[in-house]
A and B are shown apart, each in its own frame.
Chain A
């Protein structure tokens, strides 16, 4: 068993305790958490700094405000409802279209207005928030995802997760929803994780349920070698996340919109470690490298430059 531990160590895999003790605790002071734990705050913050985020249609802060809902929904054909303090993708309701008085979900099932009301009141009472605190419901632009992923995503929005350490993008992965993950891009729930070469922005290989895979399990299309468009700009956006929040160890979730390009969906102060599995590479050596040089990297451009030169796979 200790042999196994040393094998992990050799490959520079960062474990849960290691992440918390060496990266999250020292680099992410608690007082900065509200900046990323509340998505409404994050949105305002990032928007002001010139980051691209999905447009917000409205916020529902209290039960009685649901009266405004029909008006709000009238104006838009597709939208996303999410809790402001949700975690792990819980409590997100995606509406892609309308049919009479009913709303269409990505999997072609219908929800009624009443069900949407119920979902929002669940969000408000804190069902999905950390610690069950009362919450807000955000209604925002529903991403029309870029056709570049057409063959390899199943009923949902693929997203790109980038770990940014002290402003330098250190590792990235593409998360592809599968039938099993119910359209969600969460690896725990059965989404497929796909490593991305930081240098080129091309997908490398994919891991699904801890096994190596060449093809997407539902569409049977090969997942490696897909070039992500606008990669350098995407890295710059991710790097900006650090400048805006000040969080030294940060997970940035980005989606690619057909019309709007990369949009930042979420910032995460405690990003998971599955990214190492998707890249088949430990984080440790990359984090060590950044640790050594980050003082010399002053601007986002420099940071992205450094990442693209050093973190190829």
Chain B
């Protein structure tokens, strides 16, 4: 009975999984492999805030005027909200002329809003020339020099700052980086600090920079936008557009260099923030950018939406973009877990903790493989050093674990700062590592070190790392990702395989090594 039940379960799982899969492939024509060119991007801004039981108004910059891209499928989701689109001048009216580039904003409003409020703006960006990412094109209008409107005290500070930088620089190419450096490290300079006293974030710094550039005679404006890639939490990056000697220059504020933007989509220009809220509190805007799941996919989706409307209502594609991006990651975890089942039960590897390698592999996604392995090894080696020292102090177990955790955080912060100063941006992403996992790993390695000696512990650690790398390679494979996202029914097949592996009672591969005396004899 038990055996029959087992076979039946495996059979049913395989039949449903493979059945739906082959129906989707052969009848509905879903693509089996991801097509290489991505010609559209889903961009989504999720505005969340708490209402105070009073009228609210939310102003959000929209993507309507993006050069080189056509913006299609714009959606504004907000239950019970009135909505209007307006164009807005880049800076305040007095100092711009009418022909100036304009931002396009959406204004959501509601008479009474209480509790948590969610508004979603989503749009699809398609490059105007098919299949290719548009190159950077300069704005149509050349900014005029305008009065930066500094107060008397501010003007004194600004002039002092500019004259000092002027003396240290030769031309615009050297002047702007120096100016931005002063502003970004304003603690060293009281003039800069005074000018920046109201600038709370990087956008505030950029706005002050624009005013200073106007004061020094360089026509400039700020532009804010996103970099196209796959990210469930995209960030706004800031650039400066400067016009001198009849040409445009683009200055990357984050990196502090002049360069040409790549894959950068300008969202809006000028002083305004991405979103403004009146009548509510705790405003949060999260952005996500996801390549529109492949061209061929889009066609299939459109066709099926027309012919089989209910079928597609219940697929992962019907979820908001941000949830889709999250699911692209979540769906990879079972794949890593199944790989681990195989490596442990069929091959016979032993690792620290059952699913630790999957978690480590997930964190490699943030850092890329080589950096991940390097940073992980460094942090663990240094952490082990700290742990060995703590051994001398004879601390109790839980406080000692906490000490290791604190040291790990400090080590990671230190590594991030050093890497950033050396200009290695990847080093900064170590901060996204799951620290508790790292501390537990250190503790486990050191207990094993005490009990079984250094050799076994290092062997085990290297083994865990190897399994993590393997899991990472499988989990980040684009074909694997595509297959399981487009055909989630394949998880039933994986479930069947896992159930079968759960009943695998034969020898493990490493049993051959263990019992090698029997093979020889």
Interface residues of A (CB under 8 A from B): 1, 4-5, 7-9, 11, 13, 15-18, 20-22, 63, 90-91, 114-115, 118, 121-122, 125-128, 188-189, 207, 210-212, 273-274, 276-277, 280, 282
Say how far B419's CB is from chain A's closest CB, in angstroms. Answer: 33
Residues of the A chain whose Cβ atoms lie less than 8 Å from the Cβ of B27: none
Distance A7 CA – B521 CA, assembled complex (angstroms): 10
Contact check, A17 vs B345: say whether CB atoms are below 8 A apart: yes
Contact check, A280 vs B518: say whether CB atoms are below 8 A apart: yes
Distance A13 CA – B511 CA, assembled complex (angstroms): 10
Task: Give 8 nearest A-B pairs by CB, closest first.
Answer: A125-B397, A21-B505, A15-B507, A118-B394, A15-B511, A17-B505, A18-B505, A90-B451
Distance A115 CA – B393 CA, assembled complex (angstroms): 11
Interface residues of B (CB under 8 A from A): 345, 348, 394, 396-398, 447, 451-453, 503-508, 511-512, 514-519, 521
Say how far B353's CB is from chain A's closest CB, in angstroms. Answer: 11
Contact check, A16 vs B511: say whether CB atoms are below 8 A apart: yes
Residue in A5, A20, A211 whose beta carbon sits within 8 Å of that of B507 in the complex: A5
Distance A5 CA – B514 CA, assembled complex (angstroms): 12
Q: Given A8-B511, A11-B518, A277-B515, check contact A18 B396 (CB 8 Å).
A: no
Contact check, A4 vs B512: say whether CB atoms are below 8 A apart: yes
Residues of the B chain whose Cβ atoms lie less than 8 Å from the Cβ of A126: 397
Distance A90 CA – B447 CA, assembled complex (angstroms): 10
* A interface SS class: helix
A15 closest partner in B (C-beta): B507
Q: Given A5-B506, A8-B507, A127-B447, check contact A189 B512 (CB 8 Å).
A: no
Contact check, B451 vs A18: say whether CB atoms are below 8 A apart: no
Contact check, A15 vs B506: say whether CB atoms are below 8 A apart: yes
Q: Given A188-B452, A277-B514, check contact A18 B397 (CB 8 Å).
A: no
Contact check, A15 vs B508: say whether CB atoms are below 8 A apart: yes
B447 closest partner in A (C-beta): A127
Residues of the A chain whose Cβ atoms lie less than 8 Å from the Cβ of B507: 5, 8-9, 13, 15, 17-18
Residues of the A chain whose Cβ atoms lie less than 8 Å from the Cβ of B521: 280
Distance A229 CA – B76 CA, assembled complex (angstroms): 87
Residues of the B chain whose Cβ atoms lie less than 8 Å from the Cβ of A21: 503, 505
Contact check, A212 vs B397: say whether CB atoms are below 8 A apart: no
Which residue of B453, B516, B517 has the most chain A CB atoms within 10 A of its CB atom? B517
Contact check, A4 vs B519: say whether CB atoms are below 8 A apart: yes
Residue in B452, B505, B518 whose beta carbon sits within 8 Å of that of A13 in the complex: B518
Given contacts A5-B512, A17-B505, A127-B397, 16 further A-B contacts (CB under 8 A): A4-B519, A5-B506, A5-B507, A8-B507, A8-B512, A8-B518, A15-B506, A15-B508, A16-B348, A18-B505, A18-B507, A125-B397, A125-B398, A210-B517, A280-B521, A282-B518
A–B Cβ pairs within 8 angstroms, 29 of them? A1-B512, A4-B512, A8-B515, A13-B511, A15-B505, A15-B506, A15-B511, A16-B508, A17-B505, A17-B507, A18-B505, A21-B503, A21-B505, A63-B396, A118-B394, A121-B397, A122-B396, A125-B398, A126-B397, A188-B452, A189-B452, A189-B453, A210-B514, A210-B516, A273-B514, A276-B515, A277-B514, A277-B518, A280-B521
Residues of the A chain whose Cβ atoms lie less than 8 Å from the Cβ of B516: 210
Q: Given A4-B512, A125-B396, A125-B397, check contact A22 B517 (CB 8 Å).
A: no
Q: Given A4-B512, A118-B394, A273-B514, check contact A17 B519 (CB 8 Å).
A: no
